[in-house]
Structure 1
């Protein structure tokens, strides 16, 4: 099929369709969107772990067979429309005449797709507000002019609002509701509209979802498979080499997969509602989801099966995604002031430990806050804090946050509860704090103090404005640290990927590599990652501790040269200017420091991949390195950052907390002393 190929297919892709399989005529060059669409479907159909899903519903294979029988032009047009937002599309908005040979040819293709059952043309009965939303601005203006509404208004939203207001206030002289008349006239304006047929669209979405699930939803492929494959081809990226090896099913049945899909769709809707501050909609979705989730949690057989699965596999369940829907819904309830229901909801989440256990710290935190705000019950809040602090599912930064909250509430507690707190050894958790420094900067002339990013005038001639991090980097460059980046730990994660490359992509662990398009094993961020590779991880750590730093730098160089530019979630290859730049960075550590850093990532990557201080600066000549957390006006250290700072200080790595203050601002020149419990 010529030079349209998506990616080079090597011998390890046994049993998968190649790019050249997609056309019987090698002279035909398909557009990337159709090529990738068909390629994904064919490869997913051949995935042995999904055969039971396809066999469970023959509509999968029948839909694909019908699609492949279509003429190539029909396939191209269908995929074009499939990739658009699923809605009724007016014919004039399909500007594909040039691509498909003119207006008549395009109309003919649309008619053929309707006859084949891939498109719908007849608009079903729909509400007036939905109907008005389909009209163009010009059509809305004509409609409003006919009914003498908003003739001077130019906004779509305002015209629709005025029309909807008019139908509520007025009837025609003959008693016919004005709503019916406007509805009929609007429908007449939409006689030539099309929509992708929903049932067949859903089938193709299932194929894409199965492909995404194995590749990882957060990767370039997982986020948008069709465009992701194109991006890989344009950037000439390849994936790490590993053996796809699985002996189980990702989804136990067709019903389990369909439930997963429904839950994922609900999560997308909940997330969008919250992001757009549509809290009422999030609340409705919460109450709609709650009984479905309760049924799953109360199913003892299902709960037992889920508990036996490693954490990464539970993410492919409906229960996991519905739990996150409820979590977002509870935040909506709090925003709306429904604190009593929110409290009960968080308690329900804490009553189970199967789904999303890594969020339990957040749930404990919200429960304790609500107990104080709603019922003024400091003792009950403290006991819940103690329960959370002892919970083995909590991550260190979550436990530290609960300990801090407990310490702040001690004076409000009864003598009996205070005695119980004193007996809890886990509640004494504390961390060290790095040295604090202060640098001054002049605010940009247009900068106003308050919320949002604060920007300063840069000291460097070629930069007019700088963030607090950029201003701090300028300062450290003047103090014997010529190399430095604002990366929030990217360089350290790169070292982990480089020194543990063959451990991460080893073939001895089954079921974590299910697709050649994975950028990491499925269990990378789970506790099971260490448990499944404990022997090889400990062996690698021992090797690192026993090698000299020069040999470690050479090992890093060899890995870099062997794998540079391979697509992986751990390494941003552009962070280092060259392999020599990498070597200079590695030589700033001691072998013991590298061993402990690698151990931290290998044992709990999911917990420590965020929260790293902002800046890493170093001097390859003097082999000095410093890590800096930069704080602008009114910023405070997060618990994740405090845990990282404490860990780095234990390794003997120089850590500072750099406060950037505005010159001449008395309000910002407050004390930088540490809290007593951080000493």
Structure 2
């Protein structure tokens, strides 16, 4: 029987719950004035801890004469950066209790701060104090005590909170469990259960825990153990369960982070990064990697939007719906074949309709009252809209359409799709998919069996015609809708003169080159060391008897014609776009550079990027057409030594090869490719040809889409082939046919 699904409680802490709670959707509450709490930013210490005044920190007595290692400062520095930034610009989003947590943290010694941050960066839960391996902290025991004695406490002691014997046993190592269970006899089939993972000797961790628990339940006393008094006190003193006391003696002191502190600083990380942490995942990875110079980010001025959330109530509501969306997204995929779970998920989605409608009404009023000529108002209407409850509810309702489809509740799905299409504020980029799905549902599921489909076909045709008039529908989706429209009109028996015809969708087709290859069996001895058992793509035999992919086989063919090249798919074109558009991408604009750790402006994948920069982009395209080589050399020379992290960039492509391919493509075509990507980067960054080839003697460039046996071109690929050919790029489709199977 399927276990009940964990559902998030929107009225409780936003931290992802570990148990089922009753759902109550968040309601809008009147904004409260920010509490007047005095706080300070983290002091910028530059001296070693030993040189600080004793009045500012607890006195630590070194446990050994060995000098401590230097602190791995990047952990603490990255944490302080986010904390100080939020306290400086958005402290109005924090409660008085949360501000108190911040003030107490900033008053701690550097070692205490460092220990807490290291614990915060790892998986949250109970940890044995003797397992804390931080040699850079000279007096770890004293530092733990400092955190225990904070008010409010930053960590908790297991002696006060950990009372479950099974939880205690999980903290033991396998060897410790073996020693602990040695005086016990084995649990026989007649006296106790065995776990599914039990080995024949019963010496795995799960079976040892099961054995210890079995004896603890059946024998209240430990007549075969030597009774001993613990060297530390427990909450119940000597009255503690003797079976637990025996475990405590082995594991020693146990600590974990206090839940209130976790919630406070996870909220600060959320505010700083503009996104929720996933489980115990540390959102500061990018900061740490940047600090140790493993990752370098583009240089641009950071402009925090202190007014992104107008007040704490608005932020809390956004935060709760963010966690709800995350929970629904994960659960809907895991439970897509479980009708009972899907019903519960749909019930949650359905309750988001009302707050979605309220947010939509508010947003429409804001649009009507804003200045359409203001660049800032455009950013507000596009990018900043992603930080509203309405945007999150739209994503939740989009999930709801998939849930209803899996439940085969097509009438409700169609109603929800129509509701989403009736607005043009949120998730405009999904409108094409909504039209496509609605037309399919109306065509196939609205007619009782045995009844004529005329009415359903007519309704679906109306939806298709509506989609054709919508400028937000992507051309790839549009082509699918046109094909469906043709089937509908044929089914309705419409005359040729009354049928819809769209000449603009007629595309150029690339010439086809056919080659043959010998496909290798992935179970043969020759490929056993090369191909993973889970590797599902067909493999082929190269000229020198190596095992290669279908794209590599095609590269071999073009090498015989004197071409050099890469199996780059989209990466060459996105890299050319990034380098040629570097100055456009990282030009300061309000609200799009919130942290120093971005690989692109935050609005690049939205429909705000192009209109907010249209005039600058059009001017820059003229420069690219005339001096693309100079731009590429300048940016490549500056950024390649740093291996700068930028969207679409692959530094494995050598500069000489990049320039050779750019020359072969030509300035006019490069400008056209960049223009296409700039207009809709999110949808147009995929579907480009697999192979990028150039001829070193004549400089010719050729783009090749490779198709194996039974493979066909997608609509996105057809669009790019037509676009490239229109720009004058040499394009081919290379079809691989089987010579024989080995």
Same fold (TM over 0.5): yes
1:600 aligns to 2:680 (yes or no): no
Determine the structure 2 residue equivalent to 1:206: 267
Structure 2 residue aligned with 1:82: 120
Identify the residue that residue 40 of structure 1 maps to in structure 2. Answer: 82
> Secondary structure of 1:315's match?
helix
Note closer, same or farther for the CA distance 1:186–1:271 as it changes in structure 2 (3 Å cut). farther
Q: Structure 2 CA distance, aligned partners of 1:619 and 1:262?
A: 56
Q: Give the counterpart of 2:572 among 487, 491, 496.
A: 491
CA-atom RMSD in angstroms: 4.3
* C-alpha separation in 1, matches of 2:42 and 2:101: 21
For the 8 Å contact 1:389–1:427, the answer to whether it is kept is: no
1:611 match: secondary structure: coil
Q: Secondary structure at the match of 2:414?
A: helix
Q: Distance in 1 between matches of 2:418 and 2:535?
A: 34
Could you tell me how far apart the structure 2 residues matched to 1:341 and 1:355 are? Answer: 20
Residue 348 of structure 2 is aligned to residue 298 of structure 1: no
Residue from 411, 414, 427 that aligns with 2:490: 411
Of 320, 329, 345, which aligns to 1:285? Answer: 345
Does the 8 A contact of 1:631 with 1:660 survive in 2?
yes
Distance 1:336 1:187 in 2: 48
Question: Is 2:465 the counterpart of 1:389?
Answer: no
Unpaired segments of 5 or more residues in structure 1?
Answer: 1-16, 173-183, 667-679
Tell me the CA shift for residue 624 of structure 1: 0.9
Q: Does 1:574 align with 2:651?
A: yes
Q: How far apart, CA to CA, are the structure 1 residues paired with 2:510 and 2:354?
A: 46
Report SS of the residue matched to 2:740.
coil
Structure with higher Rg: it is 2
Say whether 1:352 aligns with 2:390: no
Task: Count matched residues.
Answer: 609
C-alpha distance 202-433 of structure 1, shift in aligned 2 (>3 A): farther
C-alpha separation in 2, matches of 1:157 and 1:330: 44
Deviation at 1:105, TM superposition (A): 6.0
Partner residue of 2:322? 264
CA deviations on 1:497-550 (whole Å, 9 max, x unpaired) are 22222222223x4333333333222222333322222222222223334x2xxx
Aligned pairs for 1:496-507 within 5 A: 496-507=577-588
Q: Secondary structure at the match of 2:383?
A: helix
Higher alpha-carbon deviation: 362-371 or 22-31: 22-31
Task: Tell me the alpha carbon deviations over residues 41-65 of structure 1, each in whole angstroms, 9 at most, x when there is no partner.
Answer: 113322x3x24324xx233322111
**For 2:698, what is the secondary structure of its paired residue?**
coil
- Which residue does 2:299 correspond to in 1? 241
Match in the other structure for 1:469: 551
Question: TM-score under structure 2 normalisation?
Answer: 0.71
Summarize the alignment of residues 164-203 of structure 1 with structure 2, pairs less than 5 Å apart: 194-203=255-264
Q: Is the 8 A contact 2:148 2:157 kept in 1?
A: no
CA distance 1:185–1:347, shift in 2 (3 Å): farther
User: CA separation of 1:232/1:117 partners in 2, compared to 1, >3 Å: closer, same or farther?
Assistant: closer
Contact 1:386 1:427 in 2 (8 A): no
In 1, the alpha carbon distance for the partners of 2:411 and 2:245 equals: 50
CA distance change for structure 1 residues 299 and 535 in 2, over 3 Å: closer, same or farther? closer
* Structure 2 residues not aligned, in runs of 5+: 1-39, 51-69, 219-240, 371-379, 448-455, 525-532
Give the whole-Å Cα distance in 1 for the aligned partners of 2:415 and 2:244.
47
Q: Distance in 2 between matches of 1:114 and 1:632?
A: 66
**Distance 1:451-1:407 versus aligned 2 partners, 3 A rule:** farther
Higher helix proportion: 1
String of CA shifts for 1:116-164, please: whole Å, max 9, x gaps.
Answer: 24437455999x9x9799787978998994961126742899989x99x
Q: Which has the higher mean CA deviation after the structures are superposed, 103-112 or 246-255?
A: 103-112
Partner of 1:59: 97
Length-normalised TM-score, structure 1: 0.77
Is 2:538 the partner of 1:455? yes
